Structure 1
Amino acid sequence: MKLLFIQLPRLDPDVASPGENNMAAAACLRTALARSDEASHWTVCETPDVQDAASDARLLERIVDAAPDAVAATCYLWNVERTLSLLRHLKRRLPGLRAVLGGPDIARNHPVLADARRRRGGPWDVLVVGEGETVFPAVLHHVRTGEPPDFSGVAWRLPDGAVQEGVQPRRLRPLVELLPSPDDPANRPDAAGMAYLETSRGCPLRCAFCCYNMRRTSLSCLAPDEVRKRIRILRERGAREIRLTDPTFNAHPHFDEVLDALVCENGDHALAFFVEIRADTLTDAQAARLAEAGVAEAEVGIQSTDPRVLALIHRPLREDRVLRGIEALLRHGIRPTLDFMYGLPGQDEGDVRRSLEWLARFGDRIHPQFLPTLLLPGTELRDRAAELGLRAQRLPPYRVTATDQLASRQLAAIESWANDALGAFDSPTRRFVGARLPDLFASRIARRLDGGGDPPAVVAQANRQAVVFSGADLFEQREAIARTLRRCVRDEPHILWQFVLAPETEEPLDLLDDLVAELRRLPGHWLDRLVSPPGRRRLAARRLFVRLPRGAHGDPGWAEEAEALLAEHFH
């Protein structure tokens, strides 16, 4: 039988971003299969090389050509809706296909999966909550033979459409037994020189908003010598930056020895490391050693300045020790990223203002992140939302829209304060109107409108697709343009679209108003929900641009008005 791993990428509207889509979960699952008796029954197909760039229709054809018997998909909040949509289309083309879903966004009572859970013939056949390596061979055995994978955290669909959940406890195995061997071909950097390394799994913290620990209740770590070996191989294979994916890097019980390993393998600083740490337990000597090892950035989660709020989210810290750890990082040349959250239970406007002031004291010595609270599936905060007075978006990214202390309008005002103090979400658009538009996607489809009815259908090739409409009188063709917009989004609702008007002369601004209204009527996208403050919807996934004729001397006032109009609606 044939098995295919997929992990749809997070789509970034910023053309300057190379994008990242590290399939570490697939590598671990493939290793778990290879080390099991089930391996002899399966052939693993290579993931299509167009996965990270193709439109859904194009990727669908590549997967259909591979004709797998089973697909194992890793789901995050940014790809779960798209993954389910792709699987629905795949199952129509490959009726015998079985789909196994896992990943950070898979949890019991998941809002997106709930509908499919009750529907016979839904897009998934098996769900795995938490780390999947120890149960994956049993899941594939079930796919092949029908024998139930009776383990806690595993759910499977019965022939009548009902869902059964396993009850037997899983065996927790040491991390070194779950990862591919250091010299496995999967352990290599991507095309940009970025590599990932997991030195520990699990987390000693039990933050109510987080499931970063893969729902492990214990911590398992690689030995320092194993860390050294893996870094050496990644470096030999061309890595220039290594992101350590540990939830809390300095929770490693042999942290000082791990730092020695980093220094030993990176004394010349050919590698840059990114880590997440607890500042309140960091010593000055450890900060110095991090710098000596080549750590370029250390992310520190603080979340709030209010002890009552921190107690509600189970995030213990002492402010004086946090400050001491941050100053140690700065003293040794490491610029920390400091994370605060808004929309937490019990948090009032005073705590938010104190948090902003707390960040402002460091000026440009730090990289501040002031993040909206997300009610992630499987977290305590989501399970206790009603009790704590939290309301949130039903669909990803599950942003909190009101709390026991703050109404939606207050959260929107808080976001405005944060934008003024720290800067807004990074905008992917430098210019909406101009003869040169630096933020257009590389994949572009041209359509000429000359009053002869609708243009030919647009078939997206990429998951970041631009469509350029040209013609002598686009205002007169606005209904044809609107119909094309609707068809594009209907056919490919989960990719990113740019719709570019290329008029020969200035058009009435009503044309832009009409098309903005058309885009606002279309179904939402997770990216829009991420960047939109409570009570106001901004569009990031489907944007409108105007490309002016080169060398034309039009009215600058018209271009300024058009720019302001589009900037008001689009991100």
Structure 2
Amino acid sequence: MKILLTTLNAKYIHSNLSLKYLYMSAVEHRRSIDVREFTINNDDDYIYTEIIRGGYSAVCFSCYIWNISRVLYLVENLKKAKPEMKIALGGPEVSFEPIDFLRSHKSVDYIMVGEGEEIFRDFVKTFVSRNQAFDKVKGLIYRLGGKIFVNPPADMQEFDSVPFPYGFLLPSDDRIVYYESVRGCPFQCSYCLSSVEKHVRPLPLERVKKEVSFFLFKHVKQVKFIDRTFNYDRGRCNQLVKYIMDHDNGITNFHFEICGDLIDEEFLRLLGAARKGLFQVEIGVQSLNPLALGAVDRQKNTDKLLPNIQQLVQLGTVHTHVDLIAGLPFEDYLSFIDSFNGVYQLGADQLQLGFLKLLKGTKIREEKDKYGYVFRESAPYEVIANKFMSAEGMARLKMVEHLLDLYYNRGGFQKTLEYAIQHLQVTAFDFYEELAYFFYLKGYQHRSHKKEDLYRIFYEYACWKDRSLPGVAADIQELLTADMQRTLNPDAVKKFNKKGWNIDRRTI
């Protein structure tokens, strides 16, 4: 009997850590298990055909907000093609309200609720033995004889007992390698699934060092720690940072998500001495509105947070990524502008403007009526409006997000952006909002654009501004030229100069 363990990742460069954990947990039955990772960009027919031709007796999907609709479409058609094929689902997107889910989706035979290592191990053992004693598998909800059976929940696992996920399934050279040294989070943000678990379970420090050494030995391009708060224990964090620096191979990059409040002098000292490119950090600011933060149980000291981030940025050795969330309670349009401007001035390498999602199982979803949330009923459950911000306001922020990604996060416009915000005498948000208005008014949102055309569009915007601020177009053209020469390869610059600054309207 052959079992397929699979998922659909959001991008090719992503890999799925859960599949590796599950495979290693059932490694004694590895000859009966295949592991395949597809992406949401793969054609449905391709995925369907690959699974059908594999001759599997059971297919197990790892389900998330980005793939659940595609998974259900595949499951329905796989079941039609092979009614005897068993379908099992696991992951955060099916671990909440699983009985209703099973009732609604007749093609699904099993749901594994919660952390899956022990559940999957026991499921595989039962399945390959053909004894059908699934009532002994804790954490399993299943359909049998037209009835739904609900087993007792699985016990919380001792994280140290979970095997190293890359013991047999080696990391790919061209994909991000995900790694977990801590399960759980010390904070209880009401919009995050990590708040559901009340415990923090770290792996022993020596084990983490040993496993990090494996990635360094393999010259993995990037290791992304999925720990929700890497520096929750500042001493442990600093020891790991120092260990990585001491064993730096000159190739591998490490990504951490940290709490800005907890940045200390030792952390800054270490990162200041690190090889540029060795570390990148992500900091979830989310909002500077104390009412919004309090409403989602996120008590942050912004007076400490912002200077800490600024010091980190000024080191110049670390790629910094900061996040904001639109749609929080008590955050209206004007309040969000204040949050945006306050975070933008920090000068981080990337500023992600995200939108609140009311994920299954989170406290904020239970409070949807309290705050008047209107949200998408299917994944990813993104907020449309609430008591504090209209749907039109959210749409305007979507426009700003689009231009922020094109011109700030994509890079290549640093000097021009600095000049524009300073000399147009507007706030950062006002600038991006106006640029977005121009961009959408001209219809440029209807298609994707090459980097070269983004320079042309910016110049066209500058010419529009030149009517009220004479001379600004010439200044911006000069700065765009300098930014372009720093960013594009020489051949691309020559091609640009040959074509000129006027954008081809036929490409819109």
Bin of the TM-score, shorter chain as denominator length: 0.7 to 0.9
Q: 2:215 aligns with which of 203, 228, 234?
A: 234
Q: 1:255 aligns with which of 234, 237, 259?
A: 237
Greater RCO (Cα-Cα under 8 Å, separation 6 or more)? 1
1:292–1:104 CA distance, 2 compared to 1 (3 A): farther
Task: Say if 1:312 and 1:345, in contact at 8 Å, map to a contact too.
Answer: yes
Alpha-carbon distance between aligned partners in 2 of 1:362 and 1:51, rounded to the nearest angstrom: 35
Between 372-381 and 272-281, report the one with greater CA deviation. Answer: 372-381
**Pair 1:123-2:123 in alignment:** no
Shift of 1:49: 7.6
Q: 2:145 aligns with which of 150, 159, 170?
A: 159
Amino acid at match of 1:24: L
Deviations 1:550-571 (A, max 9, x none): xxxxxxx9972x544xxxxxxx
Which one has a larger percent helix, Structure 1 or Structure 2? 2
TM-score under structure 2 normalisation?
A: 0.74
Shift of 1:65: 2.1
Hey, what does 2:454 align to over in structure 1? none
1:149–1:202 CA distance, 2 compared to 1 (3 A): farther
Alpha-carbon distance between aligned partners in 2 of 1:145 and 1:124, rounded to the nearest angstrom: 20
Point out where structure 2 has 5 or more consecutive residues left out of the alignment: 411-446, 448-501
Task: Say if 2:184 and 2:198, in contact at 8 Å, map to a contact too.
Answer: yes
Deviations 1:235-267 (A, max 9, x none): 22231221111111112472232223212221x
Hey, what does 1:29 align to over in structure 2? 22
Within a 5 Å distance, the mapping from 1:55-94 to structure 2 comes to 55-94=43-82
Hey, what does 2:253 align to over in structure 1? 272
Task: Say if 2:89 and 2:110, in contact at 8 Å, map to a contact too.
Answer: yes
Amino acid at match of 1:44: S
Task: Say if 2:62 and 2:91, in contact at 8 Å, map to a contact too.
Answer: yes
Point out where structure 1 has 5 or more consecutive residues left out of the alignment: 12-18, 428-497, 499-556, 565-571
Task: Say if 1:71 and 1:100, in contact at 8 Å, map to a contact too.
Answer: yes
Amino acid at match of 1:65: R
Aligned residue for 1:46, secondary structure, equals: strand
Hey, what does 1:5 align to over in structure 2? 5
Hey, what does 1:332 align to over in structure 2? 315
Hey, what does 1:472 align to over in structure 2? none
Deviations 1:77-114 (A, max 9, x none): 1111111111222122222111111123223237xx95
Amino acid at match of 2:78: L
RMSD of the TM alignment (CA)?
3.1
Alpha-carbon distance between aligned partners in 1 of 2:326 and 2:378, rounded to the nearest angstrom: 19
Q: 1:205 aligns with which of 173, 176, 187?
A: 187
Within a 5 Å distance, the mapping from 1:334-349 to structure 2 comes to 334-349=318-333
Hey, what does 2:174 align to over in structure 1? 192
Alpha-carbon distance between aligned partners in 2 of 1:150 and 1:203, rounded to the nearest angstrom: 30
Shift of 1:399: 1.1
Amino acid at match of 1:21: H
Shift of 1:293: 5.1
Shift of 1:123: 2.4
Task: Say if 1:345 and 1:389, in contact at 8 Å, map to a contact too.
Answer: no
Alpha-carbon distance between aligned partners in 1 of 2:250 and 2:182, rounded to the nearest angstrom: 23
Deviations 1:260-316 (A, max 9, x none): 3212221x5432111100010110221232454554321000111111111111111
Hey, what does 2:490 align to over in structure 1? none
Task: Say if 1:126 and 1:139, in contact at 8 Å, map to a contact too.
Answer: no
Shift of 1:50: 7.0
Alpha-carbon distance between aligned partners in 1 of 2:60 and 2:341, rounded to the nearest angstrom: 46
Aligned residue for 1:314, secondary structure, equals: coil
Q: 1:306 aligns with which of 285, 289, 292?
A: 289
Alpha-carbon distance between aligned partners in 1 of 2:117 and 2:95, rounded to the nearest angstrom: 16
Task: Say if 2:295 and 2:329, in contact at 8 Å, map to a contact too.
Answer: yes
Aligned residue for 2:61, secondary structure, equals: strand
Amino acid at match of 2:388: Q
Aligned residue for 1:247, secondary structure, equals: coil
Q: 1:362 aligns with which of 329, 334, 346?
A: 346
Aligned residue for 1:347, secondary structure, equals: coil
Within a 5 Å distance, the mapping from 1:445-524 to structure 2 comes to none
Task: Say if 2:111 and 2:141, in contact at 8 Å, map to a contact too.
Answer: yes
Q: 1:395 aligns with which of 375, 378, 399?
A: 378
Amino acid at match of 2:190: A
Deviations 1:469-503 (A, max 9, x none): xxxxxxxxxxxxxxxxxxxxxxxxxxxxx9xxxxx
1:238–1:421 CA distance, 2 compared to 1 (3 A): closer
Amino acid at match of 1:118: S
Alpha-carbon distance between aligned partners in 2 of 1:102 and 1:292, rounded to the nearest angstrom: 43
Hey, what does 1:105 align to over in structure 2? 93
Shift of 1:178: 1.2
Shift of 1:52: 7.8
Shift of 1:209: 0.9
Amino acid at match of 1:98: K
Count of residues paired in the alignment: 414
